[in-house]
Amino acid sequence: MNQKNSTDSISATALIHSKYQAPSGFAAFPSAIHHASTVLFKDVAAMRERKWQDKSAYTYGLHGTPTSFTLEARLAEIEQGKYCLLAPSGLAAISLVNMALLQAGDDVLLPENVYSPSRDLGDWLARSFGVSVRYYHPLIGAAIADLILPNTKLIWTEAPGSVSMEVPDIPAICAAAHAKNVLVALDNTWSAGIALPAFAHGVDIIMQALTKYQSGGSDVLMGAVITRDQAINLRLQAAHMRLGFGVGMDDVYLVLRNLDTLKLRFDAHDQSARKLATWLGTRPEIDTVLHPALASCPGHAIWARDFTGAGGLFSVLVNARYSEPQTDHFVNSLKLFGIGFSWGGARSLCLPYRIQQMRSDWQHQGTLLRFNVGLEDCDDLIADITQALQQM
Ligand SMILES: *Cc1c(COP(=O)(O)O)cnc(C)c1O
Protein backbone atom coordinates (compact mmCIF):
# COMPACT_ATOMS: atom_id res chain seq x y z
CA MET A 1 0.00 0.00 0.00
CA ASN A 2 1.23 3.48 -0.83
CA GLN A 3 1.83 5.38 2.42
CA LYS A 4 4.07 8.14 1.10
CA ASN A 5 1.52 10.75 2.11
CA SER A 6 2.17 11.22 5.84
CA THR A 7 -1.44 12.17 6.53
CA ASP A 8 -2.41 8.62 5.45
CA SER A 9 0.16 6.78 7.54
CA ILE A 10 -0.82 5.04 10.71
CA SER A 11 0.47 6.49 13.97
CA ALA A 12 2.71 4.37 16.15
CA THR A 13 0.01 4.38 18.82
CA ALA A 14 -2.71 3.25 16.43
CA LEU A 15 -0.35 0.62 15.05
CA ILE A 16 0.22 -0.83 18.51
CA HIS A 17 -3.28 -0.39 19.93
CA SER A 18 -5.24 -2.09 17.18
CA LYS A 19 -8.97 -2.42 17.85
CA TYR A 20 -9.28 -5.72 16.04
CA GLN A 21 -10.41 -8.70 18.08
CA ALA A 22 -10.65 -12.08 16.41
CA PRO A 23 -14.11 -13.63 16.78
CA SER A 24 -14.34 -15.91 19.79
CA GLY A 25 -15.56 -19.48 19.58
CA PHE A 26 -12.73 -20.89 17.51
CA ALA A 27 -12.54 -24.65 18.05
CA ALA A 28 -9.85 -27.06 16.88
CA PHE A 29 -7.86 -29.95 18.33
CA PRO A 30 -4.40 -28.36 18.68
CA SER A 31 -3.61 -26.40 21.84
CA ALA A 32 -3.20 -22.69 21.17
CA ILE A 33 0.33 -21.32 21.61
CA HIS A 34 0.09 -18.50 24.13
CA HIS A 35 3.30 -16.49 24.22
CA ALA A 36 3.73 -13.95 27.01
CA SER A 37 6.17 -12.27 29.29
CA THR A 38 3.66 -9.63 30.47
CA VAL A 39 0.31 -11.02 31.57
CA LEU A 40 -2.47 -8.41 31.85
CA PHE A 41 -4.65 -7.86 34.91
CA LYS A 42 -8.16 -6.45 34.77
CA ASP A 43 -7.25 -3.73 37.29
CA VAL A 44 -4.76 -2.96 40.05
CA ALA A 45 -6.76 -4.83 42.66
CA ALA A 46 -6.66 -7.97 40.51
CA MET A 47 -2.90 -7.57 40.15
CA ARG A 48 -2.48 -7.23 43.93
CA GLU A 49 -4.69 -10.21 44.70
CA ARG A 50 -3.13 -12.62 42.23
CA LYS A 51 -0.97 -15.34 43.78
CA TRP A 52 1.52 -16.80 41.35
CA GLN A 53 1.59 -20.19 43.09
CA ASP A 54 -2.14 -20.54 42.58
CA LYS A 55 -2.52 -21.92 39.08
CA SER A 56 -6.16 -20.92 38.72
CA ALA A 57 -4.99 -17.72 36.99
CA TYR A 58 -1.97 -16.10 35.32
CA THR A 59 0.65 -13.74 36.72
CA TYR A 60 3.74 -13.55 34.56
CA GLY A 61 5.06 -15.50 31.58
CA LEU A 62 7.70 -17.19 33.73
CA HIS A 63 4.95 -18.88 35.74
CA GLY A 64 3.14 -20.08 32.65
CA THR A 65 0.47 -19.44 30.07
CA PRO A 66 -2.52 -21.63 29.12
CA THR A 67 -0.16 -23.58 26.83
CA SER A 68 2.27 -24.59 29.58
CA PHE A 69 -0.54 -25.11 32.12
CA THR A 70 -2.09 -27.59 29.67
CA LEU A 71 1.13 -29.53 29.27
CA GLU A 72 1.67 -29.58 33.04
CA ALA A 73 -1.84 -30.87 33.64
CA ARG A 74 -1.53 -33.56 30.99
CA LEU A 75 1.82 -34.77 32.31
CA ALA A 76 0.42 -34.92 35.84
CA GLU A 77 -2.51 -36.97 34.48
CA ILE A 78 -0.18 -39.41 32.71
CA GLU A 79 1.79 -40.04 35.91
CA GLN A 80 -1.35 -39.97 38.09
CA GLY A 81 0.13 -37.05 40.00
CA LYS A 82 -1.41 -33.74 41.04
CA TYR A 83 1.18 -31.05 40.37
CA CYS A 84 3.71 -30.53 37.59
CA LEU A 85 6.40 -27.96 36.91
CA LEU A 86 8.23 -27.61 33.59
CA ALA A 87 11.96 -26.94 33.38
CA PRO A 88 14.18 -25.96 30.42
CA SER A 89 15.75 -29.45 30.24
CA GLY A 90 15.69 -32.79 32.01
CA LEU A 91 18.87 -31.84 33.81
CA ALA A 92 17.30 -28.54 34.91
CA ALA A 93 14.42 -30.58 36.37
CA ILE A 94 16.96 -32.62 38.39
CA SER A 95 18.62 -29.38 39.59
CA LEU A 96 15.22 -28.03 40.54
CA VAL A 97 14.53 -30.99 42.83
CA ASN A 98 17.97 -30.74 44.45
CA MET A 99 17.83 -26.96 44.93
CA ALA A 100 14.30 -27.13 46.33
CA LEU A 101 14.87 -29.93 48.82
CA LEU A 102 18.53 -29.75 49.89
CA GLN A 103 20.56 -27.24 51.84
CA ALA A 104 24.06 -27.12 53.35
CA GLY A 105 24.44 -29.87 55.93
CA ASP A 106 21.91 -32.20 54.29
CA ASP A 107 22.73 -35.61 52.88
CA VAL A 108 21.49 -37.07 49.58
CA LEU A 109 21.86 -40.62 48.25
CA LEU A 110 22.34 -41.27 44.52
CA PRO A 111 22.51 -44.64 42.73
CA GLU A 112 25.91 -45.63 41.28
CA ASN A 113 24.27 -45.88 37.82
CA VAL A 114 22.70 -42.41 37.95
CA TYR A 115 22.55 -40.33 34.74
CA SER A 116 26.15 -38.99 34.50
CA PRO A 117 25.37 -35.23 34.49
CA SER A 118 23.30 -35.82 37.64
CA ARG A 119 26.39 -37.34 39.26
CA ASP A 120 28.42 -34.32 38.18
CA LEU A 121 25.75 -32.05 39.69
CA GLY A 122 25.95 -34.08 42.91
CA ASP A 123 29.72 -33.63 43.01
CA TRP A 124 29.21 -29.86 42.57
CA LEU A 125 26.65 -29.77 45.40
CA ALA A 126 29.20 -31.53 47.60
CA ARG A 127 32.18 -29.38 46.56
CA SER A 128 30.56 -25.93 46.58
CA PHE A 129 27.31 -26.08 48.53
CA GLY A 130 28.08 -28.16 51.63
CA VAL A 131 25.73 -31.02 50.76
CA SER A 132 26.87 -34.55 51.58
CA VAL A 133 26.43 -36.78 48.50
CA ARG A 134 26.80 -40.55 48.78
CA TYR A 135 26.31 -43.32 46.24
CA TYR A 136 24.59 -46.67 46.64
CA HIS A 137 24.46 -49.84 44.57
CA PRO A 138 21.34 -49.69 42.37
CA LEU A 139 20.25 -53.19 43.45
CA ILE A 140 20.54 -52.38 47.16
CA GLY A 141 16.77 -52.65 47.79
CA ALA A 142 15.61 -52.57 51.43
CA ALA A 143 19.21 -52.52 52.68
CA ILE A 144 19.29 -48.82 51.81
CA ALA A 145 17.90 -48.38 55.34
CA ASP A 146 21.45 -48.96 56.63
CA LEU A 147 22.73 -45.97 54.64
CA ILE A 148 20.16 -43.45 55.88
CA LEU A 149 21.67 -40.92 58.29
CA PRO A 150 19.83 -38.44 60.52
CA ASN A 151 20.61 -35.66 57.98
CA THR A 152 19.58 -37.68 54.89
CA LYS A 153 16.81 -35.70 53.18
CA LEU A 154 16.52 -37.19 49.73
CA ILE A 155 17.13 -40.48 47.90
CA TRP A 156 17.33 -40.38 44.12
CA THR A 157 16.40 -43.46 42.11
CA GLU A 158 16.57 -44.09 38.38
CA ALA A 159 14.64 -46.96 36.88
CA PRO A 160 16.52 -48.46 35.15
CA GLY A 161 19.92 -46.71 35.21
CA SER A 162 20.30 -45.05 31.84
CA VAL A 163 23.49 -46.80 30.67
CA SER A 164 24.00 -50.02 32.65
CA MET A 165 20.25 -50.66 32.99
CA GLU A 166 19.99 -52.26 36.47
CA VAL A 167 16.37 -52.10 37.67
CA PRO A 168 16.08 -50.93 41.29
CA ASP A 169 13.49 -52.14 43.79
CA ILE A 170 11.58 -48.86 44.07
CA PRO A 171 8.90 -50.06 46.56
CA ALA A 172 11.60 -51.44 48.92
CA ILE A 173 13.66 -48.23 48.72
CA CYS A 174 10.55 -46.09 49.30
CA ALA A 175 9.46 -48.15 52.31
CA ALA A 176 12.90 -47.84 53.91
CA ALA A 177 13.06 -44.10 53.15
CA HIS A 178 9.58 -43.31 54.42
CA ALA A 179 10.20 -45.20 57.66
CA LYS A 180 12.85 -42.53 58.32
CA ASN A 181 10.99 -39.54 56.84
CA VAL A 182 13.21 -39.33 53.79
CA LEU A 183 11.80 -38.30 50.39
CA VAL A 184 12.34 -40.42 47.27
CA ALA A 185 12.76 -38.86 43.83
CA LEU A 186 12.68 -40.96 40.67
CA ASP A 187 14.16 -40.18 37.28
CA ASN A 188 11.35 -41.88 35.34
CA THR A 189 12.53 -40.90 31.86
CA TRP A 190 13.09 -44.45 30.56
CA SER A 191 9.44 -45.40 31.09
CA ALA A 192 8.12 -42.09 29.66
CA GLY A 193 5.74 -42.08 32.62
CA ILE A 194 3.57 -44.73 30.98
CA ALA A 195 5.36 -47.99 31.82
CA LEU A 196 5.96 -47.52 35.55
CA PRO A 197 3.17 -46.38 37.91
CA ALA A 198 5.73 -44.72 40.16
CA PHE A 199 3.47 -42.96 42.67
CA ALA A 200 1.68 -46.27 43.29
CA HIS A 201 5.10 -47.75 44.12
CA GLY A 202 5.67 -45.05 46.75
CA VAL A 203 7.78 -42.42 44.97
CA ASP A 204 7.30 -38.83 46.23
CA ILE A 205 8.74 -36.89 43.28
CA ILE A 206 8.88 -37.93 39.64
CA MET A 207 11.27 -36.29 37.22
CA GLN A 208 11.00 -36.66 33.44
CA ALA A 209 13.30 -35.63 30.59
CA LEU A 210 10.56 -34.68 28.11
CA THR A 211 13.44 -34.33 25.65
CA LYS A 212 13.09 -38.07 25.03
CA TYR A 213 9.77 -39.78 24.25
CA GLN A 214 7.38 -36.94 25.06
CA SER A 215 9.07 -34.73 22.49
CA GLY A 216 9.71 -37.68 20.20
CA GLY A 217 11.22 -35.44 17.54
CA SER A 218 14.85 -35.05 18.70
CA ASP A 219 14.19 -31.31 18.57
CA VAL A 220 13.09 -30.15 22.04
CA LEU A 221 14.90 -29.88 25.38
CA MET A 222 12.53 -29.87 28.36
CA GLY A 223 12.02 -31.46 31.74
CA ALA A 224 9.21 -31.92 34.24
CA VAL A 225 8.85 -32.53 37.97
CA ILE A 226 5.60 -34.15 39.10
CA THR A 227 4.30 -34.59 42.65
CA ARG A 228 1.15 -35.43 44.59
CA ASP A 229 1.96 -33.55 47.79
CA GLN A 230 1.07 -29.87 48.04
CA ALA A 231 3.79 -29.01 50.56
CA ILE A 232 6.50 -30.54 48.37
CA ASN A 233 5.08 -28.78 45.34
CA LEU A 234 5.22 -25.42 47.12
CA ARG A 235 8.91 -25.94 47.87
CA LEU A 236 9.50 -26.87 44.23
CA GLN A 237 7.53 -23.84 43.03
CA ALA A 238 9.63 -21.49 45.19
CA ALA A 239 12.87 -22.90 43.76
CA HIS A 240 11.42 -22.85 40.24
CA MET A 241 10.64 -19.15 40.58
CA ARG A 242 14.00 -18.28 42.17
CA LEU A 243 15.92 -20.15 39.48
CA GLY A 244 13.81 -18.49 36.77
CA PHE A 245 13.14 -21.77 34.97
CA GLY A 246 10.95 -20.58 32.09
CA VAL A 247 10.23 -22.69 28.99
CA GLY A 248 9.47 -21.56 25.43
CA MET A 249 5.85 -21.98 24.42
CA ASP A 250 6.72 -23.14 20.89
CA ASP A 251 8.63 -26.01 22.48
CA VAL A 252 5.75 -26.69 24.87
CA TYR A 253 3.47 -26.88 21.85
CA LEU A 254 5.72 -29.42 20.13
CA VAL A 255 5.55 -31.67 23.19
CA LEU A 256 1.78 -31.24 23.46
CA ARG A 257 1.40 -32.12 19.79
CA ASN A 258 3.39 -35.32 20.16
CA LEU A 259 1.78 -36.41 23.42
CA ASP A 260 -1.22 -37.93 21.65
CA THR A 261 1.01 -40.53 19.99
CA LEU A 262 3.21 -41.18 23.04
CA LYS A 263 1.84 -44.62 23.82
CA LEU A 264 1.77 -45.79 20.19
CA ARG A 265 5.36 -44.68 19.66
CA PHE A 266 6.56 -46.10 22.98
CA ASP A 267 4.97 -49.48 22.25
CA ALA A 268 6.51 -49.54 18.76
CA HIS A 269 9.97 -48.73 20.19
CA ASP A 270 9.39 -51.42 22.82
CA GLN A 271 8.41 -54.17 20.35
CA SER A 272 11.33 -53.45 18.05
CA ALA A 273 13.89 -53.09 20.86
CA ARG A 274 12.89 -56.40 22.47
CA LYS A 275 13.20 -58.18 19.12
CA LEU A 276 16.59 -56.59 18.44
CA ALA A 277 17.86 -57.23 21.99
CA THR A 278 16.77 -60.88 21.86
CA TRP A 279 18.52 -61.30 18.51
CA LEU A 280 21.70 -59.63 19.81
CA GLY A 281 21.68 -62.15 22.66
CA THR A 282 22.18 -64.95 20.09
CA ARG A 283 25.25 -63.30 18.53
CA PRO A 284 28.69 -64.68 19.54
CA GLU A 285 30.16 -61.14 19.60
CA ILE A 286 27.80 -60.11 22.43
CA ASP A 287 28.36 -61.35 25.99
CA THR A 288 25.41 -59.84 27.81
CA VAL A 289 22.26 -58.02 26.79
CA LEU A 290 21.26 -55.41 29.37
CA HIS A 291 17.58 -55.03 28.51
CA PRO A 292 15.26 -54.97 31.55
CA ALA A 293 12.69 -57.22 29.81
CA LEU A 294 15.32 -59.94 29.28
CA ALA A 295 16.45 -62.29 32.05
CA SER A 296 20.12 -61.35 31.47
CA CYS A 297 19.54 -57.84 32.86
CA PRO A 298 20.25 -57.27 36.58
CA GLY A 299 16.91 -56.50 38.22
CA HIS A 300 14.85 -58.19 35.48
CA ALA A 301 12.52 -59.82 38.04
CA ILE A 302 11.78 -56.38 39.50
CA TRP A 303 11.06 -55.02 36.04
CA ALA A 304 8.63 -57.91 35.47
CA ARG A 305 6.91 -57.16 38.80
CA ASP A 306 6.71 -53.36 38.60
CA PHE A 307 6.75 -52.26 34.93
CA THR A 308 4.16 -52.57 32.18
CA GLY A 309 6.49 -51.96 29.22
CA ALA A 310 10.03 -51.14 28.15
CA GLY A 311 10.56 -48.69 25.28
CA GLY A 312 13.54 -48.46 22.96
CA LEU A 313 16.65 -48.04 25.13
CA PHE A 314 18.98 -50.87 26.15
CA SER A 315 22.68 -51.75 26.28
CA VAL A 316 24.91 -54.70 25.46
CA LEU A 317 28.36 -55.79 26.60
CA VAL A 318 30.60 -56.79 23.70
CA ASN A 319 32.91 -59.76 24.29
CA ALA A 320 36.23 -58.54 25.69
CA ARG A 321 38.19 -60.13 22.83
CA TYR A 322 37.10 -57.10 20.79
CA SER A 323 39.24 -54.02 21.46
CA GLU A 324 37.86 -50.52 21.78
CA PRO A 325 39.07 -49.59 18.25
CA GLN A 326 37.15 -52.63 16.96
CA THR A 327 33.91 -51.72 18.72
CA ASP A 328 34.38 -48.09 17.60
CA HIS A 329 34.71 -49.41 14.06
CA PHE A 330 31.46 -51.36 14.53
CA VAL A 331 29.62 -48.19 15.58
CA ASN A 332 31.16 -46.19 12.72
CA SER A 333 30.08 -48.90 10.25
CA LEU A 334 26.40 -48.71 11.16
CA LYS A 335 24.37 -46.94 8.49
CA LEU A 336 20.92 -46.64 10.09
CA PHE A 337 22.14 -45.82 13.61
CA GLY A 338 23.27 -42.28 14.32
CA ILE A 339 26.11 -41.55 16.76
CA GLY A 340 24.78 -39.07 19.30
CA PHE A 341 23.38 -38.45 22.76
CA SER A 342 19.76 -38.47 23.84
CA TRP A 343 17.07 -40.83 22.57
CA GLY A 344 13.32 -41.27 22.21
CA GLY A 345 13.12 -40.05 18.60
CA ALA A 346 12.24 -41.92 15.40
CA ARG A 347 15.89 -42.44 14.37
CA SER A 348 17.97 -45.23 15.91
CA LEU A 349 21.19 -44.39 17.74
CA CYS A 350 24.19 -46.34 19.01
CA LEU A 351 26.89 -45.09 21.39
CA PRO A 352 29.88 -46.76 23.05
CA TYR A 353 30.45 -45.91 26.74
CA ARG A 354 33.68 -46.10 28.75
CA ILE A 355 31.67 -47.33 31.68
CA GLN A 356 34.76 -48.41 33.65
CA GLN A 357 35.53 -44.68 34.01
CA MET A 358 31.96 -43.76 34.93
CA ARG A 359 31.51 -46.30 37.71
CA SER A 360 33.77 -47.05 40.65
CA ASP A 361 32.11 -50.47 41.14
CA TRP A 362 31.99 -51.81 37.55
CA GLN A 363 33.05 -55.49 37.41
CA HIS A 364 32.55 -56.47 33.77
CA GLN A 365 35.01 -56.59 30.87
CA GLY A 366 34.23 -55.50 27.33
CA THR A 367 32.84 -52.38 25.72
CA LEU A 368 29.32 -51.29 26.61
CA LEU A 369 27.21 -50.22 23.64
CA ARG A 370 23.91 -48.45 24.16
CA PHE A 371 21.19 -48.70 21.54
CA ASN A 372 18.22 -46.42 21.13
CA VAL A 373 15.93 -48.36 18.83
CA GLY A 374 13.97 -45.92 16.69
CA LEU A 375 10.88 -46.51 14.59
CA GLU A 376 12.55 -48.02 11.50
CA ASP A 377 11.67 -51.58 10.41
CA CYS A 378 13.38 -53.89 12.88
CA ASP A 379 14.59 -56.29 10.17
CA ASP A 380 16.44 -53.43 8.49
CA LEU A 381 18.12 -52.59 11.81
CA ILE A 382 19.12 -56.24 12.27
CA ALA A 383 20.57 -56.34 8.74
CA ASP A 384 22.53 -53.14 9.44
CA ILE A 385 23.96 -54.50 12.70
CA THR A 386 24.82 -57.78 10.96
CA GLN A 387 26.95 -56.02 8.32
CA ALA A 388 28.64 -53.82 10.96
CA LEU A 389 29.44 -56.86 13.15
CA GLN A 390 31.06 -58.51 10.12
CA GLN A 391 33.32 -55.44 9.77
CA MET A 392 34.24 -55.56 13.46
C1 LIG B 1 18.30 -37.29 28.91
C2 LIG B 1 18.16 -37.62 30.33
C3 LIG B 1 18.16 -36.62 31.29
C4 LIG B 1 18.40 -35.16 30.98
O5 LIG B 1 17.55 -34.64 30.02
P6 LIG B 1 18.03 -33.37 29.17
O7 LIG B 1 16.76 -32.78 28.68
O8 LIG B 1 18.91 -33.89 28.08
O9 LIG B 1 18.75 -32.44 30.09
C10 LIG B 1 18.00 -37.00 32.60
N11 LIG B 1 17.84 -38.29 32.95
C12 LIG B 1 17.81 -39.28 32.04
C13 LIG B 1 17.63 -40.68 32.48
C14 LIG B 1 17.99 -38.98 30.69
O15 LIG B 1 18.00 -39.96 29.81
Which atom of ligand 1 has the smallest separation from the CA of 94?
Answer: 10
pTM exceeding 0.85: yes
CATH 3.40.50.300, domain 44-259, yes or no: no
CB of 115 closer than 6 angstroms to any ligand 1 atom: yes
* Start and end residues for every CATH 3.90.1150.10 domain found in the chain: 262-391
Q: Could you tell me the pLDDT band of residue 54, with boundaries at 50, 70 and 90?
A: confident
* Start and end residues for every CATH 3.40.640.10 domain found in the chain: 44-259
CB of 316 closer than 6 angstroms to any ligand 1 atom: no
> How far apart, in whole angstroms, are the C-alpha atoms of residue 47 and residue 58?
10
CB of 160 closer than 6 angstroms to any ligand 1 atom: no
Measure 158 CA to ligand 1 centroid, in angstroms.
Answer: 11
> How far apart, in whole angstroms, are the C-alpha atoms of residue 230 and residue 224?
16
CB of 164 closer than 6 angstroms to any ligand 1 atom: no
CB of 258 closer than 6 angstroms to any ligand 1 atom: no
The 3-class secondary structure across 131-180, one letter per residue, is CEEEEECCCCHHHHHHHCCCCEEEEEEECCCCCCCCCCCHHHHHHHHHHC
pLDDT greater than 90 at residue 238? yes
Paired sense of beta strands 205-209 and 107-111, if any: unpaired
pLDDT digits (tens, 9 = 90+) for 192-237: 999 999 999 999 999 999 999 999 999 999 999 999 999 999 999 9
Measure 209 CA to ligand 1 centroid, in angstroms.
Answer: 5
pLDDT at position 162 is 81
Paired sense of beta strands 368-372 and 349-353, if any: antiparallel
342: left (phi over 0), alpha (psi -120 to 50) or beta: left
Measure 297 CA to ligand 1 centroid, in angstroms.
Answer: 21
Q: Could you tell me the pLDDT band of residue 128, with boundaries at 50, 70 and 90?
A: very high
Q: Which of 89, 95, 118, 189 to mutate to test the pocket of ligand 1 (most atoms within 8 A of CB)?
A: 189
Measure 211 CA to ligand 1 centroid, in angstroms.
Answer: 7
pLDDT greater than 90 at residue 122? yes
CATH 3.30.70.20, domain 262-391, yes or no: no
Helix axes 262-280, 249-259, angle to 10 degrees: 70
> How far apart, in whole angstroms, are the C-alpha atoms of residue 194 and residue 25?
34
Q: Could you tell me the pLDDT band of residue 1, with boundaries at 50, 70 and 90?
A: very low
Of 172, 204, 211, the closest CA to residue 189 belongs to: 211
pLDDT digits (tens, 9 = 90+) for 162-202: 899 999 999 999 999 999 999 999 999 999 999 999 999 99
CA 295, 143, 190, 82 dihedral sign is positive
> How far apart, in whole angstroms, are the C-alpha atoms of residue 345 and residue 84?
23
CB of 162 closer than 6 angstroms to any ligand 1 atom: yes
The kind and range of the H/E element at 269 are helix 262-280
> How far apart, in whole angstroms, are the C-alpha atoms of residue 342 and residue 332?
18
pLDDT, mean of residues 61-65: 95
